[in-house]
Structure 1
Amino acid sequence: MMKERIYTIFAKFYEYTIMAFMMVFGLIILGYLGLSIYDLGMALFEFKGDIEITDITKTVLSAFLCFEFAVIIKEYFENKAAINFENYLYVAVTAMIRSILVYHDNAAKTISLCVAIFILMVAIILYRKFYKQH
């Protein structure tokens, strides 16, 4: 009886600790999202001839990654500490697409990232097909 109570106390402490870290992580992600949007706005309004498209692409895709993480954290709190696995797959695909668009100087790396994206897309399709049925 006493052991069960101790386990319950530890479980609650662990749950509250994770929630606190998720809240802090969410605020940090929102800060990075704000910085990315600010960088995009500054690049748009202070146009100089030396801006490279890869810099804009990096910033846009970083903003998308931050946005996806913010959505995952929001869903964490909405769904009572449960995160949909499909969201992790979307983040992985976005990160790999960012890598391909920004660092495309190595053909073998680009091809391997394309194969990885294909595998993740198949995983998303299979996840939707089989998990949503249950």
Structure 2
Amino acid sequence: MNGGSYMGYKHLEKGYNIFLGVGMLILGIIMFGFFVKDLWILVQMVWQTDLQKNFYSIARLILETFLFFEFVVLTQEYFLQKHISLQNFMYIGITAMLRNLLVYHDDTMGILIQSISIAIMILVLIVYRWSRRYLADLEQKEAREEVIFAEEHQLQQATDEH
């Protein structure tokens, strides 16, 4: 009975992974399409419009294009590494907030709130990276202590036998 439910779980997990992979592929294709569309519009705007009059709309489009590019890279990361790192999500969030701050800067209170949000996200990123490094160091320390204990234990056994 137990083996059958385990096999069912494996099929369910495999089906979920296939569904997730297809969904990520579709999302990646859509994001890539938006990326190409924005690049095309950007090229047209640069060649056909007065850059001084439309500077903010061109800047907004450039920043939006970079955001789509980051999402395409995020989708690629999923297919290459079978997961998406939290750090990359945080980088994209910070980039999106910076883009928003650069483009929409008419509201003073909005600028303050966005700036505080960016600062909080950067602090969270710093704490996250520090905690990962700390945990990795702790893991290595425990492994070293286990090796030292095993070596000392073997030496003690060897001296006890003689």
1:102: which partner in 2?
103
Residues 1:61 and 1:5: Cα distance change in structure 2 (over 3 Å): same
Quote the residue 1:89 is aligned against. 90
Change (3 A) 1:94 1:78: same
| Alignment partner, residue 18 of structure 1 | 20
Structure 2 unmatched ranges of 5 or more: 137-162
Shift of 1:51: 4.3
Which residue of structure 2 aligns with residue 76 of structure 1?
Answer: 78
SS for the counterpart of 1:11 is helix
What residue is the counterpart of 1:4 in the other structure?
6
Quick one: which of 37, 48, 59 aligns to 1:57? 59
Taking the aligned partners of 1:50 and 1:122, their CA distance within structure 2 comes to 36
Runs of 4+ in 1 over 3 A off after TM superposition: 48-51
C-alpha separation in 1, matches of 2:130 and 2:51? 48
- Percent identity at matched positions? 27
Give the superposition deviation at 1:127.
Answer: 2.3
Q: Which amino acid aligns with 1:43?
A: M
Query: So what's the TM-score if we normalise by structure 1?
Result: 0.91
Cα drift, residue 49 of structure 1: 6.4
2:112 maps to what in 1? 111
Which sits farther off after the overlay, 124-133 or 6-15? 124-133
Q: Matched residue of 2:105: which SS? A: coil
Partner of 1:31: 33
Q: Please, what TM-score do these two structures have when normalized by structure 2?
A: 0.76
Match of 2:145? Answer: none
The aligned residue for residue 121 of structure 2 is: 120
Q: CA, structure 1 residues 42+114, in 2 after alignment: closer, same or farther (shift >3 Å)?
A: same
SS at match of 2:50: coil
How many residue pairs get aligned? The number is 133
Larger radius of gyration: 2
Deviation digits for residues 109-129 of structure 1 (CA, Å, limit 9, x no counterpart): 110110110111112222222
Residue identity opposite 1:104 in structure 2: H
Structure number having the greater helix percentage: 2
C-alpha RMSD of matched pairs (Å):
1.6
